[in-house]
Amino acid sequence: MNDSGKDFSSPQDTPASTPRPSAFEQWRRKAMLVTGLGVTTDERLEDLRAHQIRECERKTEYLYNYSPVVVFMLKHLKLSGCEVPPSNILCAPCDLTKAGGFTPDPGAVILCAGHFFSQQHMESTITHELMHMYDHCRFKVDWGNLRHHACSEIRANNLSGDCRFTRELRRGFVSFSKQHQACVRRRAIESVSANPACPNEAAAERAVNEVWESCFNDTRPFDEIY
């Protein structure tokens, strides 16, 4: 390296690039991963995870640009001063108990690759997490305050499509009387119970009950329940 900061190494000093595998070798490797012949279990799992993340990223890009409800939420987040670039919606491996999550700082949505059974499921998960982001941005939610957390969970479950009848049917919950409200309440209590600041389920249920009426009826930024 000379004083100008530019590298004038001779061609022989530059390492040769690694040759790309032939089409046959790529096909052979893929066949081995599919059949399990000649590869380890860890290699197969790693290939599966990589495939799930690619599929998650592809579908996320589509929803980011073309889903009416996701585009609507992104627009209102921007209007609230919290624009969400595509890079802030991430696909990653997760445990089997969740489909997504939200991190207040730096304001990112995490989608659990391989955990979605339909595009609508992914759409409602993104919307749910963007609702948390909207509340955090617009109302300065203190996530250690159980009442604050309960309110955002009620709103996210109420407005994202998470509690559609077909979703509840898939979960094994069937009710023909106030099914939507029961779903919103149950899921909000479950989420608040998982808050490290929550001592027990009774405290979570109490927090949800205390804010239920005002938060269930607050549909901002929507005009009505989506």
Active site residue ranges: 129
The values of phi and psi at residue 54, to 5°, are -60, -45
Given phi > 0 = left and psi -120 to 50 = alpha, else beta, which region is 107?
left
Closest CA to 187 of 144, 142, 152: 152
Exposure letters 45-80 (e unless 16+ CB within 10 A, then b): eebeeeebbeebbebbeebbeebebbeebbebbeeb
Q: What angle do CA 27, 33, 34 make, to 5 degrees?
A: 90
Which DSSP symbol is given to 15? P
Decide if 98 contacts 112 (C-beta within 8 A). yes
H or E element, residue 158: helix 146-159
